[in-house]
Amino acid sequence: MILVTGAAGFIGFHVARRLLAAGSEVVGFDNLNDYYTPRLKHDRLAELADRPGWRFVHGDLADGTALAALVAETRPTCVVHLAAQAGVRWSIDNPSAYVSSNLVGFANVLEACRHAATPHLVYASSSSVYGANTKTPFAESDPVDRPVSLYAATKKANELMAHSYAHLFGLPCTGLRFFTVYGPWGRPDMAYWKFTESILAGTPIEVYGDGLLRRDFTYVDDIVEAIVRMVDAPPVAGTHDDGSPAAACRVYNIGNHTPVTVSRLLAILERLCGRPAVRLMKPRPPGDVEATFADVSALARDFGFEPRTPLEEGLERFVGWYRGWRQAAPARKAA
């Protein structure tokens, strides 16, 4: 049995669906908050509801007692921890949400896994941890001590917390630095969703940094493939090159290793939507970095896989899904 936190979220939903399709029993955990429309989260859960092996539990990471009881009851072979308060820009004005979910919540996950002797914790970190780094591509061995947002700081803190639990209690932990994930059933706060929505509606789009900011857009199926390969492959303790002990803890980049400008993203979406965008040029907001670019050589070395979905192909799938989801909205309301 595998416990997936954030199972009503974008990546969590896709991971749960893939695991269920492979015959795994999955318990999903989510608080269904309103950071973006809960309707989308309920729609995702409806897609999972009748699948064999599925169970959903409504709960909050901040409730450590309830979370520990769930992990103790289900005894998962792996916890895939994808629940978190997302969003770089939102963290500037809403820091308490990030402290509660990403710090307190993650500590509760670690404690629950520790006491249940969970064989493996796979958890979401973020490419945001690279912060003000200018060397590209970003490698896991690069220093990440210059975060430019509270969100990034909480994700780096998660990596340090996981290492301490691996060292102190032998809890095997794998952290995943996701690079700008996109695709069907995605998040409405992300640029590709906002751009598609605005192009189809004919409303203006805010484009930051002259459209020259570069992102390593990674299709969600590639993210899921990497995660499912890791679930049954916990890290083992060993030694560093200098002979010192190495905890059963590792971190991997998961990115498409092909940075694309926001202007290029917008041009592809204009073609797929069949109409031009109305652009409003804006300066780069605080907390945004100039570029992200993943070195995925460690992922390829250890798991024989690296993301390869071209941006044009992934966006075509997203736009097709988005049109269908929007067209079905009246039927959902009527029901």
pTM summary value: 0.95
CA torsion angle for 7, 32, 251, 285 (degrees, to 10)? 140
pLDDT for position 334: 47
Residues 6+ apart with CB under 8 A from 6: 12, 29, 30, 81, 82, 83, 84, 124
pLDDT for position 25: 98
Alpha carbon 50 to its chain's center: 25
* CATH architecture assignment, domain 2-186+219-257+293-309: 3-Layer(aba) Sandwich (3.40)
Residue 237 phi, psi (nearest 5): -70, 150
Blockwise average pLDDT, block size 10, the chain, 335 residues: 98 98 98 94 97 98 97 98 88 89 97 98 97 93 93 96 98 98 97 96 89 92 98 93 89 97 96 95 77 95 97 98 88 54
pLDDT for position 287: 65
**60 in the Ramachandran plot: left (φ > 0), alpha (ψ -120 to 50) or beta?**
beta
| Catalytic residue IDs | 151
**298 in the Ramachandran plot: left (φ > 0), alpha (ψ -120 to 50) or beta?**
alpha
Note whether 110 and 162 are within 8 A (CB).
Answer: yes
pLDDT for position 181: 98
DSSP 8-state symbol, 251: E
